[in-house]
Structure 1
Amino acid sequence: MIYPGVFILFTEYVEGETIAALARSLGGVEEDGARSITRQILSGVEHIHRQGLIHHDIKGENILISSTGCVKIADAGMTRIDVSDARVLASPFLAPEVYMTVDFDCAIDIWSVGAVIVELLTGRHPWADASVAFLLLKAPEFESPDVKMTGPLKTLCSQVFCSPQNRASATTLLSHPWILGCDHS
């Protein structure tokens, strides 16, 4: 039976777990594992952005990893073309500009990918102990969390945890030396 005004979405079943659960159970993953997962996330984000969409809710709980290591981005419930009607929820994965204005673009997803990288490495939410007030106050600072990482990953994070005007695109990040596995440190 079809219901007027009801949209039903069928999605692929992924047998596995979220990367948040994986990282938490391991107490964080090694950089090589984080690199492989991040490369797949960025490929998915690049595809979303090429469609003119913003996912708006990239976080470890919304990224699935299959038993074979295949990564899938899930929960497109907040995906937007026009962000003027987007709800702002306090989350350590949201880019700071989301708290400051409704004028944001796909760069917010890139910040969120950076937050997911931190979660992968540490097994914890970025800014895990932060209050909502802190999340709102950190907005103008555009700083990455203090996490031990190699030089190439620090460089990548500097292109992610920065002002939206300077933030790299998914396409640019896919050719970054850290993603490609090059170590120039």
Structure 2
Amino acid sequence: PIKWIKGKLIGQGSFGKVYYGMNTENNQIMAVKQVDIKNKKMVEALNAEIDFMKDLRHENIVHYYGSEYGESFNVFLEYVSGGSVASMLSRFGKFTEPLIKSLTSQILSGLEYLHNKSIIHRDIKGANILVDEDGIAKISDFGISKRNEYEKAYKFNSRMSGFKGTVYWMAPEVVKGRGYSAKVDIWSVGCCVLEMFTGTHPWTGFSEAQPVIYKLCTMNRPAIPDSIGTDAKEFIDSALSINPEKRPTASELLTHKFV
């Protein structure tokens, strides 16, 4: 078990609270997710998340250190000091192109690693990409991730359904509920790049989910502003291919001239 002391509250979400923690054996600062042990649903959800995270070892994925049961269920995670891309956008406004390139290639590296393990994240968006003080991007929040039981992550799976994720970053095939593959994460990366360029969620101008769902069902995609450079436009364009078969893999996008 990890010997630790609890610090101040970092934040809270639907799942519970996150505190600063310090490992007293090596003085490492951690983020500690804490859930009331009586909240069976949340404990179950966190256990599912741990199941994904425990074997993941990659610079661009938040590191899982361990967990413990007591009065509450505590999950020990890598503390990432810069906060999320979404919180940085609200603090500093839209990003410059060199910063977007750097973060995008790191997000793709993390995804390439996940997809090679047949894991689909299903909720890639600025709020789930954390950035440390050295500018290293880390994919976080595996709460709704899924394994594609066909060993290949990019293979279409009709049993993959479920309206999971956040609508503004969601691929059309998820909304339609007819099955999908890891290509849904690629669409979300395209949306995430748009988010960094504009400083706001994709589908700007739509504050409600319903019209966005309608747009996605009728084969539309979010607008790409003209102010974005050619390489970036092409990158977003291919990530947002309506047909998932035409959408590149993470490895393919890593060779794109934009990144």
What is the Cα deviation at residue 142 of structure 1? 4.2
Within 5 Å, give how 1:1-185 maps onto structure 2. Answer: 7=47, 8=67, 9-82=75-148, 84=160, 86-88=162-164, 91-130=167-206, 131-139=208-216, 140-147=218-225, 148-162=227-241, 163-179=243-259
**Percent same amino acid among aligned pairs?**
31
Number of residues paired by the alignment? 177
TM, length-normalised to structure 1: 0.87
- Comparing both structures, which one devotes a greater share of its residues to strand? 2
What is the Cα deviation at residue 94 of structure 1? 0.9
Larger radius of gyration: 2
Distance across 2 between alignment mates of 1:21 and 1:115? 16
Distance across 2 between alignment mates of 1:90 and 1:23? 18
Question: Is 28-37 or 134-143 further displaced after alignment?
Answer: 134-143
What is the Cα deviation at residue 143 of structure 1? 2.4
Deviating 4+ runs (over 4 angstroms): none
Judged with a 3 Å threshold, the aligned counterparts in structure 2 of structure 1 residues 61 and 90 are, in CA distance, closer, same or farther, namely: closer
Partner letter of residue 256 of structure 2? H
Instruction: Give structure 1 stretches of 5+ with no counterpart.
Output: 180-185
What is the Cα deviation at residue 11 of structure 1? 2.3
Distance across 2 between alignment mates of 1:177 and 1:75? 29
Judged with a 3 Å threshold, the aligned counterparts in structure 2 of structure 1 residues 150 and 85 are, in CA distance, closer, same or farther, namely: closer
Question: Is 119-128 or 63-72 further displaced after alignment?
Answer: 119-128
- Comparing both structures, which one devotes a greater share of its residues to helix? 1
Judged with a 3 Å threshold, the aligned counterparts in structure 2 of structure 1 residues 150 and 74 are, in CA distance, closer, same or farther, namely: same
What is the Cα deviation at residue 118 of structure 1? 0.8
Partner letter of residue 251 of structure 2? T
Preserved CA contact (<8 Å) 1:23 1:121: no
Question: Is 137-146 or 67-76 further displaced after alignment?
Answer: 137-146
What is the Cα deviation at residue 158 of structure 1? 1.5
Preserved CA contact (<8 Å) 2:160 2:181: no
Distance across 2 between alignment mates of 1:47 and 1:125? 26
Map Cα deviations across residues 120-175 of structure 1 (whole Å, 9 max, x no partner): 11111111332222211121324242322111111111211112111011000000
TM, length-normalised to structure 2: 0.63
Preserved CA contact (<8 Å) 1:19 1:65: yes
- The alignment's C-alpha RMSD in Å is 2.1
